[in-house]
Structure 1
C-alpha cells in the first residue's frame, strides 16, 4: 500500500510496481504549480509526487526531470569521465547500471492515481484502461497508484503488441510479425533469430525450444519444416504471449507449450536455447530476458542438455559474448561448463549485432558493444 495526506485527510491505495520497488516513504501531492527544480530536488530526496493537476503537464514535468538527470555540472562530469577512464570493463558495467538505477529512481517520482477500473481522473488524462488490463489483468475494483514512467512503458508495450515486430526469418507478407506482450522481451535483436533460421537442421522430426519467450524461435523452426516443437518457459506471461503469436502465425497445432523450468520431459534430436546473455541481477521481470544472475539458466541448460539429446542430436546454444568483453564471464568458464556437461562443440556460427547501440559512440559500454559477436554453438553429447 501507499499512503499520503491531502488537505488534512489520510489516504491510501494499492501500490503497483512491475519491478517490485517499494512505495516511496514520503509522498506529497503535486500539481501544475510545482516547479521543475523543486520537483527534481524532491525526487532526488526520494519523495513521491502524487499528481493532482493536468495530466499532460505531468508528462512535461517528467521530460524536465529527464533533462536535469542528464545534465551534470562541469566538475561532476569531469570527475565521472576520469573515473570511467580508469575503470575496468566490469567496473564500467556496474557504474552504468548504478547510473541507470539512480536515473530510474528520480524519474519514478511522479505518481499517478488510478481509479478502481484503471481510469485516470485527471484533466486531459488519456484512457489507458485497455493497456492496463492487458498488462495487469482485469481490474479488481481497487484504487491504486503507479509511476507515470511505468504507465508510459506499459502503454508503449501495448502499442508494440498491436503493431507487432517484423521478423524477416518468418517469411514475407502479413504472417511474419511477432506481437510481444507486456513483460516479454521483444525480438528486436534479429541476429539470434537469423542464426536459427540459417543453420542446417540435424532433424525435422522434433525440437525442444527451452525458454520460448514470444515464441519466435519455435515459429522459425516450424516454418523451416520441423514437424513438432515442444516449447517451455516458467513465466506465465511468456506462455500466453507465445500461444497468441503461434496462433496468429498458424503454427500452434505443431507446437506444444509446457510451463517448466528449462527442459520438457524426454529427448529430442534438436534442443534450442537462447538464455539471457549477461550474468547480472535483473531489476525487473522483463530484465530476466537480458540478465541471468550467476548464469543460472546457462549453467542449467549446459548441465542438463546431454540427458535430453537423442543419439546424434544437437543442442543449439545462442549466446552473445558481450559478458566476455565486459569481463563478467571469461570464455574459459563457458568452455569448462560445456565440458562438465559431457558435451563437445561441433561448430559455431557467428554474427555481428546490427542494433543501434552497437555503433553508438556515446553509449557507456560502447567498446564492448563494438566488439560483441552473437554465436550459435552446435553442441553434442560425448560418447
Structure 2
C-alpha cells in the first residue's frame, strides 16, 4: 500500500492522522467531520455534496445503510431533470440535439460527480486490516489480498472498502467462463483491480474462431494484455501447446499466474511482464485491448479506457514483426467507441492498413449483459447498437 500521503482531523480535542489510501488517486480530504449513528442521511448527503468528508465512528452496518441512502439520493432525478427528461435522439439533425460525444462526456461527468459524493463516507482500518467498529465484518483477508501487509492504520472510503470485499468474493467463488470436455464449468478467479471476464460474448468468439492451420507446424501463441489469463486458458484448452501471456500490471500478472497454476496449465502457459509483445514470433497473437479511447479516472478503469487508443495502435503496429509466416492476429474489439463518436470504423481500417495488415475475416456477436436493454441509460443509443467483433488479421 502506498503510504506517502496522510489524512488529518480533529477528534476529542486532539489532532489525529492516519495513512490515506485511494485507488482512484483522490487526494486526502481537507474538510472532515466525525460522525456516528445520530447523523441523518439528509445531513450526510448535504455534507458530502459540499465537499465535507465523514469519518464514521458508529455501527458498521449502519454506515453501509447510510451509503445506500446516499446512492438513492444521488440517483433520484430532480423535478427539474424530470421535466427535461425527454430523450433526444443523438442522430437527430436539429441544432439542439447533443452529439454522441456530448452524451458520453455528460455520462462521464455524472459518474465522476456520483463517485465524488459517495466517496465522502470514510472508514478507518487498523494496521492489521481490522475495523474498530461495532458489527464490522472480518475484512482482513480481503484487504490483505488487495493492499498487501501494512504497518500503520489507514483511512479509505466506505465505497472502496465494499469494492474490496466484493472483489474478495469474486476471487473466492470464481467466474465460470467455459466448460471442459465433460461439460463441467471452468472457473477463473479475478483479483482485486483486475478486469473480471464477466462479458462472456468475447470469450465465445475466441472459443469458436477457426484456428490458423500454421499452428499444426508451430503451436505457439501470444496473449497480449492477459489480465486474468482467461484467453490463455481458452487457447490452451483449444490445444495450443505453448502460450506466452504478457501484461505490465503487477496485479494482473499475479492473477494470471494463479489461474494458470490452479488449472494445471503451467506446462503450456508462461506469464511474462512485458509492454505488449514478448521477444520472438508466434503463429497466433491474441489481444483484447480496452475498448473505449478515453482517459481513465482511476487505476481500476485502465481495463476499459485506453487514452488515444494507445494499446490498440501499439498492438496493430507491432503485429507484423511478431507473426510467423501464415500466422494470424486476433483483435477482440467492441464498436461501442464508434457509436459514441470516439473512433470511426474508417480510422480503425486505416490503422490496420498502415500496419501492413489485412483483414481475413471478422466474426461478430451481440452483448448479452443487461445494459443494452436499459432505456433509462444515457448511453442506451450506443449500447443497444453495440457489436463485439473478433478481427482475424494477417500480414499483407
Report 1:94-113 matches (<5 A): 94-113=105-124
Q: Specify which of 151, 169, 172 is matched with residue 161 of structure 2.
A: 151
Q: Could you tell me which residue of structure 2 aligns to residue 92 of structure 1?
A: 103
TM-score normalised to structure 1 length: 0.97
Question: What is the deviation of 1:84?
Answer: 8.4
SS at match of 1:182: coil
Q: Specify which of 248, 252, 257 is matched with residue 238 of structure 1.
A: 252
CA 1:172–1:372: 2 relative to 1, 3 Å: farther
SS at match of 1:112: strand
Q: Could you tell me which residue of structure 1 aligns to residue 374 of structure 2?
A: 360
Report 1:273-352 matches (<5 A): 273-352=287-366
CA 1:77–1:23: 2 relative to 1, 3 Å: farther
How far apart are the structure 1 equivalents of 2:390 and 2:223?
14
How far apart are the structure 2 equivalents of 1:169 and 1:186?
17
Q: Could you tell me which residue of structure 2 aligns to residue 376 of structure 1?
A: 390
SS at match of 1:127: coil
How far apart are the structure 2 equivalents of 1:10 and 1:3?
7
Q: Could you tell me which residue of structure 2 aligns to residue 7 of structure 1?
A: 12
Question: What is the deviation of 1:312?
Answer: 1.1
> Any conservation in 2 of the 1:96–1:364 contact (CA below 8 Å)?
yes
SS at match of 2:384: helix
Q: Could you tell me which residue of structure 2 aligns to residue 33 of structure 1?
A: 38
Specify every segment of 5 or more residues in structure 2 that has no aligned partner in the other structure, as ranges.
1-5, 91-96
CA 1:2–1:313: 2 relative to 1, 3 Å: same
How far apart are the structure 1 equivalents of 2:191 and 2:183?
22
SS at match of 1:103: helix
How far apart are the structure 2 equivalents of 1:329 and 1:80?
27
Could you list the runs of 4 or more consecutive aligned residues of structure 1 that deviate by over 4 angstroms after TM superposition?
A: 80-85, 169-175
TM-score normalised to structure 2 length: 0.93
* Range 233-242 or range 171-180, more displaced: 171-180
Q: Could you tell me which residue of structure 2 aligns to residue 183 of structure 1?
A: 193
Task: Count how many residue pairs are aligned between Structure 1 and Structure 2.
Answer: 381
> Any conservation in 2 of the 1:84–1:92 contact (CA below 8 Å)?
no
- Higher share in helix: 1
> Any conservation in 1 of the 2:179–2:185 contact (CA below 8 Å)?
no
Question: What is the deviation of 1:174?
Answer: 5.2
CA 1:358–1:72: 2 relative to 1, 3 Å: closer
How far apart are the structure 2 equivalents of 1:11 and 1:90?
45
Report 1:47-66 matches (<5 A): 47-66=52-71
CA 1:103–1:45: 2 relative to 1, 3 Å: same
Q: Could you tell me which residue of structure 2 aligns to residue 77 of structure 1?
A: 82
Question: What is the deviation of 1:76?
Answer: 3.3
Please report the RMSD computed on the Cα atoms of aligned residues, expressed in angstroms.
1.4
CA 1:249–1:154: 2 relative to 1, 3 Å: same
Specify every segment of 5 or more residues in structure 1 that has no aligned partner in the other structure, as ranges.
none
> Any conservation in 2 of the 1:169–1:193 contact (CA below 8 Å)?
no
Q: Could you tell me which residue of structure 1 aligns to residue 27 of structure 2?
A: 22
Q: Specify which of 23, 44, 51 is matched with residue 49 of structure 2.
A: 44
SS at match of 2:19: strand
